[in-house]
Amino acid sequence: MGRLENKVALITGGARGQGASEAERFAAEGATVYITDVLDDVGRATAERLGDAVTFLHHDVTSEDEWIGVATGIVEEHGRIDVLVNNAGIFQTKPASETTMEDWNRMVAINQTGVFLGIREVGTRMRDHGAGSIINISSIAGLTGVAGAHAYAATKWAVRGMSKSAAKEFAAEGVRVNSVHPGIIETDMLFEFGGNIARVKESIPMGRTASPDEVANLVLFLASDESSYCTGHEFVVDGAMVA
């Protein structure tokens, strides 16, 4: 049997990058997987590529109504959601002095409010079922200060704190909540950032960036019953950047 046999998983921001890699690993381990995103064409193509175990749903994580709709629909079809990966997020490099209210509000809406809504809507349904694992994708920016990415770092610290609070709230009811803190991962978002990738690699003790699969392997562990006593903690995959 696969490590996620008979489990139902929801992965936000699953059209590409880390989310798509997580979906691929989950499906290979026996899960029924829903990937959601606002990138409809890319999301549908990813689901088609990954096969019948993966379904794409349009989903804006900043929308309370869409969260309710997605969570309700999956539970109506399968009776439960076993795993939630709050993966959707955006990145921006701006120091505090240059961050506009529009910048700030957009970052908070996607990276922080989206995670809150996922914890609330899916977590309460998991609680009613008596089991579940929520994995919130933060960043090493949620572990240390980051010059030049003020709003981004603030939201990733928030995700870390929200994960700990939710872990304590849900612990007695069978629902685990953890945060994952990737370092520099080779995804479309990294290359869209447009920075000096060679210089970034020089700052990594292991001397290389990570593939999305290396994050997906950690997320798979937290989604599986192998991590049944792990909740309320940070799991770092960064090549020793914040060691």
* pLDDT value of position 187: 81
Outline where DSSP puts E strands in the chain.
Answer: 8-12, 32-37, 54-58, 83-86, 132-137, 175-182, 234-237
Residue 194 has pLDDT above 60, yes or no: no
Annotated catalytic residue: which of 34, 116, 152, 170?
Answer: 152
Structure token digits, residue 81: 């959601």
Q: Mean pLDDT check: name the lowest of 5-14, 17-26, 88-97, 185-194.
A: 185-194
pLDDT band at 202 (very low <50, low <70, confident <90, very high): confident
Question: pTM to 2 decimals?
Answer: 0.95
pLDDT band at 196 (very low <50, low <70, confident <90, very high): low
Q: What is the dihedral of CA 121, 26, 13, 137, to 10 degrees?
A: 70
Residue 159 has pLDDT above 90, yes or no: yes
For each of the domains in the chain, give its residue range(s) and CATH number, in order of start: 8-237 (3.40.50.720)
SS (H, E, C) 109-132: HHHHHHHHHHHHHHHHHHHHHCCE
* Tens of pLDDT, residues 168-187: 999 999 999 999 999 999 88
Give the mean pLDDT of 108-119: 98
Outline where DSSP puts E strands in 60-219.
Answer: 83-86, 132-137, 175-182
* pLDDT value of position 186: 87
Give the mean pLDDT of 233-237: 98
Q: Are 90 and 111 in contact (CB under 8 A)?
A: yes
Q: Are 110 and 66 in contact (CB under 8 A)?
A: no
Q: Which residues pair with 10 in a beta bridge?
A: 34, 84
Residue 141 has pLDDT above 60, yes or no: yes
Q: Mean pLDDT check: name the lowest of 51-55, 78-82, 142-146, 220-224.
A: 142-146
Residue entry with tokens 């936000």: 12
Structure token digits, residue 126: 């998991």
User: Is 152 annotated in the active site?
Assistant: yes
pLDDT band at 76 (very low <50, low <70, confident <90, very high): very high
* Tens of pLDDT, residues 19-53: 999 999 999 999 999 999 999 999 999 999 999 99
Residue 242 has pLDDT above 60, yes or no: yes
Q: How far apart are the first and last CA of the chain?
A: 36
* pLDDT value of position 229: 98
Give the mean pLDDT of 69-94: 97
Q: Tell me how far apart the alpha carbons of residues 122 and 226 are, in angstroms, rounded to a whole number.
A: 21
Q: Mean pLDDT check: name the lowest of 33-37, 71-75, 128-132, 146-150.
A: 146-150
Q: Which residues contact 7 (CB under 8 A, 6 or more apart)?
A: 26, 30, 31, 32, 82, 83, 223
Q: Which amino acid type is present at position 89?
A: G
